[in-house]
Amino acid sequence: MKAVYVQDAYEVIVKEVDMPELGDNEVLIKVKAAGICGSDIHTYKGLHPFRKPPVIIGHELSGEVVKVGPAVAKFQPGDRVTVEPQTGCGSCEYCLTGNVNYCEKRGAPGIGSWYGAMAEYFAAPEQTVFKLPDGMDYEQGALVEPFAVGVHAVRKAGIGVGDKVAILGAGPIGLLAMAAAKAAGATTLLVTDVMDYALESAMSMGATHSLNIMNNKEWMQDAKALIGGNFDKVLIAAGVPGIVDQSLALLRKGGRVVTIAMFQGDQTFNIHNLQNQEKEIVGCMTYTREDTITAIDMIAAGAVNEKAIITHRLTPEQAAEGFRLVDKKEDQSLKVLVMFDN
């Protein structure tokens, strides 16, 4: 089968590989759409903490079931599906309480023997596979995984009706987190970025305010001026130096920051601003099964304007171009999909 490899840092190729072997409890999926994720770009740059080249890349996908293992009970060929691309040991306290994302033995595509999803076929354990509702297309299905990240972040932040929320970073994860915050009832949604086109997409997806912070050292004050005060919650979707401290400066007393972005290097912040005002910084790691189910339901209900976030649809042979577009933010790229079997 055809698969997209990150062969080495900044080197993406397409090559023929063996079909994945199908276990008794696994589902074989003919991939229709696979998204390029920000964490895939970390692998592309050779910076990902555990997914290293050479590797079949990808973990955002949708497709059609073509074969199931003998122990699979819930799926059959022809089912349209997406995948929550993580597994746990199944027996630790985290797995038993529904927090597979905490498992010390957590597995994911592109790690060990589990092929990545940017290939013609992808095998996944039955418990990680979800049917797409009638009326949800494959492009929407490929957004389920990144939207689940946003759903999880909003849940960790405790965002509710009437909250004032700042989303720092208008890449796909930031935009999807914003959509999840809006669906949770936030009434003030300010999105920051350094690209006007990304901010335009944020506004078309329901943001109430946007702010280009390029070369603006006083942007925190400008952000607060736009909404007439401090924010209840801040979601960090851009892992740039100093952003945690800047987030704390945006918060009201007792507010909460949630870190979604992947960070390179250390972050420093004013501990007095954290402690004396009883603010909180909360980490956010992928999602849970509950988040994935919620993401599917919310996309089906129209919570995500996919036309504002999906900017490119490429063939596997164009995948190298897609990685470059996302890395360099060229051609007004946001979510880039690699389409199979067009």
- Lookup result for tokens 């039955």: 126
pLDDT of residue 50: 84
Average pLDDT estimate for 172-181: 98
Tokens of 74: 């819930």
Among residues of the chain, what percentage have pLDDT more than 90?
97
Contact 123, 85 (CB under 8 A): no
pLDDT over threshold 60, residue 237: yes
Strands 280-283 and 251-259: parallel
Nearest Cα to Cα of residue 192 among 126, 156, 237: 237
pLDDT of residue 156: 98
Give me the CATH code for the 2-131+309-339 domain, please.
3.90.180.10
Query: Using one digit for the tens of pLDDT, what is the confidence trace for 144-170?
Result: 999 999 999 999 999 999 999 999 999
Fold of 150-283: Rossmann fold (3.40.50)
- Lookup result for tokens 């067009």: 342
Band the pLDDT of 48: cuts 50, 70, 90.
confident
Those residues with Cβ within 8 angstroms of residue 152's Cβ, 6 or more apart along the chain or in another chain: 284, 286, 287, 288, 291
**E strand or H helix that includes residue 68:** strand 60-68
State the CB neighbour count (10 A cutoff) for residue 273.
14
pLDDT over threshold 60, residue 342: no
Q: Report d(CA 226, CA 221) in Å as an integer.
A: 9
pLDDT of residue 341: 80
Average pLDDT estimate for 220-236: 98
- Lookup result for tokens 């209840």: 232
Tokens of 19: 């079909």
Band the pLDDT of 120: cuts 50, 70, 90.
very high
Q: Report d(CA 183, CA 164) in Å as an integer.
A: 13
pLDDT of residue 9: 95
Contacts 24+ apart (CB under 8 A), 19-23: 19/121, 20/115, 20/121, 20/122, 20/123, 21/123, 22/67, 22/68, 22/69, 22/123, 23/69, 23/123, 23/125
Average pLDDT estimate for 125-147: 98
Query: Using one digit for the tens of pLDDT, what is the confidence trace for 195-227?
Result: 999 999 999 999 999 999 999 999 999 999 999
Find the length of the chain.
342
Domain residue spans of the chain:
2-131+309-339, 150-283
Q: Report d(CA 324, CA 162) in Å as an integer.
A: 39
Per the DSSP assignment, residues forming a β-bridge with 14 are 4
pLDDT of residue 19: 94
pLDDT of residue 15: 95
Query: Computed from CA positions of residues 130, 131, 133, 135, in that sequence, does the dihedral angle turn out positive or negative?
Result: positive
DSSP 216-231: -TTHHHHHHHHHTS-E
How far is CA 36 from its chain centroid? 10
Q: Report d(CA 269, CA 264) in Å as an integer.
A: 16
Query: Using one digit for the tens of pLDDT, what is the confidence trace for 275-326?
Result: 999 999 999 999 999 999 999 999 999 999 999 999 999 999 999 999 999 9
Band the pLDDT of 264: cuts 50, 70, 90.
confident
- Lookup result for tokens 């418990």: 127
Query: Computed from CA positions of residues 60, 66, 69, 73, in that sequence, does the dihedral angle turn out positive or negative?
Result: positive
CA distances (Å), 152 to each of 81, 105, 168, 228, 282, in order?
Answer: 21, 20, 16, 28, 12
pLDDT of residue 55: 95
pLDDT over threshold 80, residue 57: yes
